[in-house]
Amino acid sequence: MTEPFYQVVNNEQVLFEHAWRHRMPVLIKGPTGCGKTRFVQHMAHRLNLPLYTVACHDDLSAADLIGRHLIGAQGTWWQDGPLTRAVREGGICYLDEVVEARQDTAVVLHPVADDRRELFLERTGEVLKAPASFMLVVSYNPGYQNLLKGMKPSTRQRFVAMRFAYPSTLEEERIVAREAQVETGLAAQVVRLGQALRRLDQHDLEEVASTRLLIFAARLIAAGMNPREACMACLAESLSDDPQTVAALMDVVDVHFS
C-alpha cells in the first residue's frame, strides 16, 4: 500500500510516535479539512498498524463501537465492532468528530483510554486487555463545540492533545500542488484565493475555505474547467447557502481569477 501523503508542519510525527510507544491515547483538535484524518492514516502506515476509522454521528452508540450479536440463517453469532477489532489486533482506532457520538460511548472509551487499557464486552462477558501496539485516537473541530456537544473534562484529560491548524502559505502550496497534481503556479494562485476567503470575517461562515476544498478547486481547474465555475462549485457554494454570501465570495474569486 502506498504511503498516504502528509506534509509535516511541526513535531506532530514525533509527538504521535512518543504517545504510541508510551501507550497514551491522542486527541487531535483542528478545523475541517486541515489534515487530521490524513495525518492519522499517514502515521498508521508509518507505524505499520491496522487502522479502523469511525465517522462519529448523533446515532453512534457504544454497541456500534464494541459489536453486537447478529441473527442469520446459521443462527446467532457475535460480530466485533471497530474498537474491538482494533484492540484484538493491536491497531489504531480513530474516532473522527468524537463529540458527535452519543454520550454513552464515553463509558466505553474511559477504560481503554486510561492506565487500564481494557475493553469490557458486556454481552459476551469478555474483558480484552489491549496489547502494547493498540492506540486510541480521537478528533474533533473545536469550532463546532457548544454546551450540548463537547468533550467532558473527565474524558479529555485522558488524552495527549494536539492542535492542528491550516498550514503556512508555502506548505499549503506544496500540499495543493502534490495532492491536486498541478503546477506550482496554479497551486499558489489557489492558495492565495483561499487565504483571502479566510479573511472574510464579516460574513457569518460556519467554516472557512479548507485545504481540502482548495485541492478540489485546483483539480477541476487543471482538468480544463473554467476557473470561476470551479471556484463557485468547490468554494463559494460549499461554504454557504446564502446567495448574498456566495456572491460576496465570488467577488473575491473574480479578483484572483480575472
pLDDT in tens, 185-210: 999 999 999 999 998 866 667 788 99
CB 216 within 8 Å of CB 225: no
40-51 pLDDT, tens per residue? Answer: 999 999 999 999
What pairs with residue 129 in β-bridges?
A: 118
Indicate the SS3 state at residue 211. helix
> What would the mean pLDDT of 102-114 be, rounded to a whole number?
89
For the whole prediction, is pTM greater than 0.85? yes
pLDDT of 149 higher than 70:
no
115-126 pLDDT, tens per residue? Answer: 999 999 988 889
Residue burial 134-155, b: 16+ Cβ < 10 Å; e: rest: bbbbbbbbeeeeeeeeebeeeb
* Residue at grid coordinates 453512534: 60
Long-range contacts of 142-150 (CB under 8 A, 24+ apart): 142/29, 142/30, 143/31, 143/206, 143/207, 144/97, 144/99, 145/99, 149/99, 149/100, 150/99
> What would the mean pLDDT of 6-17 be, rounded to a whole number?
93
Cβ neighbourhood burial of 102 (10 Å; 0-12, 13-18, 19+): middle
Q: Please, what is the end-to-end C-alpha distance for the chain in angstroms?
A: 41
- pLDDT band of residue 73 (cuts 50, 70, 90) is confident
Residues in the chain: 258
The whole-number pLDDT of residue 104 equals: 81
Look up the CATH architecture of domain 12-163. Answer: 3-Layer(aba) Sandwich (3.40)
Amino acid at 74: Q
Grid cell listed for 100 = 458527535
CB 171 within 8 Å of CB 126: no
> What would the mean pLDDT of 22-28 be, rounded to a whole number?
97
Q: How far apart are CA 55 and CA 74, in angstroms?
A: 31
Please report which helix (H) or strand (E) contains residue 19, including its range.
helix 12-21
- pLDDT band of residue 147 (cuts 50, 70, 90) is very low
What pairs with residue 75 in β-bridges?
A: 72
Following DSSP, what letter does each residue of 25-83 receive, concatenated?
-EEEE--TTSSHHHHHHHHHHHTT--EEEEE--TT--HHHHHEEEEEETTEEEEEE-HH
Share of the chain above pLDDT 70, in %: 95
The whole-number pLDDT of residue 54 equals: 96
Domains of the chain by residue range: 12-163, 169-256
